[in-house]
Structure 1
Amino acid sequence: MSSAMASSMAKNSSPFKVVLGSSSPARREILADMGYEFTVMCADIDERAIRREKPEELVKALAEAKAEAIKLKLHGEDSAQERDQPTILITSDQVMVSKGMIRERPKGQEEAREFIKGYSGDKAFAVNYVLVTNLSNGASKGGWDIPELCGYAHSDDGCEFDLEFVLSSTEMNYTKSSNRCMFWFLQIYFHHIPEDFIQSVVKEGHMTCVAGGLKLTHPSVLPFIKQLIGTMDSVRGLPRELTERLIQEVLGAK
């Protein structure tokens, strides 16, 4: 493997190799807690060059682009022994949705301030997409982890969502699945966030360098979260249940 890959040990060894295509410490921790040994490799792509209007389309496109970039890096580097053992690649992406707008990692302090102010006394949604690729045979499975509040049209190419309805709905909470798409419901409701807290967070910087511009799991942020409907691993960017299901599906694919 490339020298750019850093080894990360987990609880138990697996009969297959795992590559995590992310530099996120949170995703590393979640995957390790799931019991996997894995290596880490970053895609190093220009995410801002990839644009989509809908959040579910954007996270899917970014996860796929990361996978393609990493596959190119790995091409020709594997040995015969590695080809004999299944190797899976996990890539993912997350955006927040607030007031009908997609919130990625902020470009700077002013945008981070704008994002956080928008959350104050309101709600936001975390939209995740996870892609698992079997590098040994090329099979891949992907799934969204987004609010499943609206009717959707399912096709072989994916799903379409009525985002306006999603943003105006708060009561429904259920899960549907298919061979192609899986949905989990995740909403974050916020208390009022004081201006002085926003200023201090933006000035420090380390809590705003994430999708949505606010590290929701930080102890100083938790008091401002009124309600979280969903799982903390989804907030952190790697939904455990979805990821495990995709791993098992891609390992079983011929």
Structure 2
Amino acid sequence: MLGFAAPLVLASGSPRRRELLSGAGLRFAVRPADIDETPLPGEAPANYVRRLSIEKTDASMASPLASPVEIVLAADTTVDVNGEILEKPLDADDAFRMLRMLSGRSHLVHTGVTVSVPIAGVRRSSTIVVTTEVTFADLEDAAIDWYLETGEAMDKAGAYGIQGAAGAFVEKINGSVTNVIGLPLAETLRLLRDATSA
């Protein structure tokens, strides 16, 4: 779909983001950025993912493997329940707690996406935050236990992956589905197009 004069680097180890970008026909290298993802005191969830996407981009560009001509794309996703950030669960009990919080209510999923491009020798970055509202059905404890046994919960923000078995928990989605998976694809492609054509 999109081709670039410069190489594209994804500053994320997320297999979901790789699959989404590959499915859109993009060719890219993967160079995960290792940063401290601890929320700041009182930090709003949308501000949190914005900050982390910027920091991941900066960390990737600071790598000894980085090239001054490459395009860097980074993203971070979190689940927001009344302003509380739900990141990846610490253990099965934490995952159960999160899924119990999500049961029978709506929550928000925010993804911050940052693109950094070299233009005429100057690096310019653009950042967006995309938000999707997700409504879960009422979950019985047995349903949560069943889901935890699938093993899907442990490496996902909010302890669920909508593209997997947890899709059975979702009653309604308002906004981008790919955003809930980990990367708002249409908005990311638009950001890349705009950044590289500026």
Give the TM-score normalised by the residue count of structure 1.
0.71
Q: Unpaired segments of 5 or more residues in structure 1?
A: 1-10, 147-185
Q: 1:100 to 1:118 in 2, by over 3 A?
A: same
Match of 2:76 in 1: 93
Deviation of residue 60 (structure 1)?
A: 1.1
CA contact (8 A) 1:96 1:103 kept: yes
Q: 1:69 aligns with which of 52, 59, 69?
A: 59
CA contact (8 A) 1:55 1:127 kept: yes
Query: Once the two structures are superposed, what CA deviation does each residue of 1:103-138 show, in whole Å capped at 9, x if it has no partner?
Result: 111122222111100111111110111000014631
Deviation of residue 140 (structure 1)?
A: 0.8
Map 1:38-117 to 2 at 5 A.
Answer: 38-48=28-38, 53-74=43-64, 78=67, 86-117=69-100
CA contact (8 A) 1:13 1:36 kept: yes
Map 1:1-254 to 2 at 5 A.
Answer: 14-48=4-38, 53-74=43-64, 78=67, 86-135=69-118, 137-146=122-131, 186-218=132-164, 220-253=165-198
Q: 1:62 to 1:52 in 2, by over 3 A?
A: farther
Structure of greater Rg = 1
Structure 1 SS opposite 2:59: helix
Distance in 2 between the 1:97 and 1:117 partners?
14
* Percent identical residues: 26
Deviation of residue 13 (structure 1)?
A: 5.4
Query: Once the two structures are superposed, what CA deviation does each residue of 1:161-187 show, in whole Å capped at 9, x if it has no partner?
Result: xxxxxxxxxxxxxxxxxxxxxxxxx21
CA contact (8 A) 2:56 2:74 kept: yes
Q: 1:33 to 1:51 in 2, by over 3 A?
A: farther
Deviation of residue 89 (structure 1)?
A: 0.4
Give the TM-score normalised by the residue count of structure 2.
0.89
CA contact (8 A) 2:136 2:171 kept: yes
Structure 2 SS opposite 1:48: coil
Distance in 1 between the 2:41 and 2:150 partners?
29
Deviation of residue 72 (structure 1)?
A: 1.1
Structure 2 SS opposite 1:70: helix
Q: How many residues align?
A: 196
CA contact (8 A) 2:80 2:86 kept: yes
Structure 1 SS opposite 2:58: helix
State the 4+ residue runs in structure 1 displaced beyond 6 angstroms: none
- RMSD over aligned Cα atoms: 2.1
Greater fraction helix: 2
Query: Once the two structures are superposed, what CA deviation does each residue of 1:45-69 show, in whole Å capped at 9, x if it has no partner?
Result: 2212756520111101111111111
Q: Unpaired segments of 5 or more residues in structure 2?
A: none
Match of 1:171 in 2: none
